[in-house]
Amino acid sequence: MDFITRAWTSAESAMSRMRVHQLSHQFTLITRQWLIGAFGVMVCFLMYAVSAAASDEFTILGANINSQNGVYLLDAQLNFNLPRSAEKSVRDGVVMNLTVEVRFDHVRHMWMNETVAVLEQRYTLIYHSVSQRFLLRNTNSGLQSSFDSFDDAIIALKNIHNLPLLDSDLLRSSVRNEVSMRASVDIRSIPRALGLILFWVDDFSLKSDWYTWPMKLQTRDAQ
């Protein structure tokens, strides 16, 4: 009887060890599959992050101030990259915004610069479905231009020409003057129906660093 009991106990122990081994093997397989999946997701995320970082750059290639009829006008060339879905988003009703900030300073060597004026100009780009044209509008002046293609509108957005900023009488020729500007672009105001589809576009925004250059004042006779 003792022999039968020991044999039964030994068999139960062997079966228990087998079940534990099977469960451990299954757990190992599940864990390995989960780690492989997580690693794949991490690799995809890193690839996307690297790609986004490479494209998320906004620079001011050049800028200049000219005087005409007693008003300082801005010329500037901007460079930025948009996500591939930007055109489709604008066609679907999303508004693209460009904001330009300009600061005029009197330079003082022993003290902080004296800020004469800080100005902000805003542009909006929308798609007019009836005329099938892209409308670029300066919200400060109300001036508006229309374009056949999205690319043409973006080219115009990147090249600012003769933008009125400041009355020339506000700057003194007896001191050194500097102009600084920066710009930002964003895509906002997504329709609710598209919110879930384009949630990453809603967060898209870029801003340049400040671009500063010395400004040589022109006299009234030179104008």
User: pLDDT tens, position by position, for the chain (223 residues)?
Assistant: 554 445 445 545 555 555 545 555 565 656 556 555 544 434 333 444 433 443 468 999 999 999 888 899 999 999 999 988 899 999 999 999 999 999 999 888 778 888 889 999 999 999 999 999 999 999 999 999 999 999 999 999 999 999 999 888 888 777 888 999 999 999 875 544 444 444 444 457 899 999 999 987 765 444 4
Per DSSP bridges, beta strands 71-80 and 58-68 are antiparallel
Closest CA relative to residue 169, chosen from 220, 213, 121: 220
Q: CA-CA distance, 135 to 146, in Å (whole number)?
A: 4
Contact status, residue 144 vs residue 136, Cβ threshold 8 Å = yes
pTM comes to: 0.66
Q: CA-CA distance, 154 to 5, in Å (whole number)?
A: 87
Task: Give the residues across from 187 on adjacent strands.
Answer: 96
Q: CA-CA distance, 139 to 124, in Å (whole number)?
A: 7
Which token pair is 149? 């293609």
Contact status, residue 153 vs residue 54, Cβ threshold 8 Å = no
Closest CA relative to residue 86, chosen from 212, 211, 203: 203
Q: Helix (H, G, I), strand (E, B), or coil: what is residue 83? A: coil
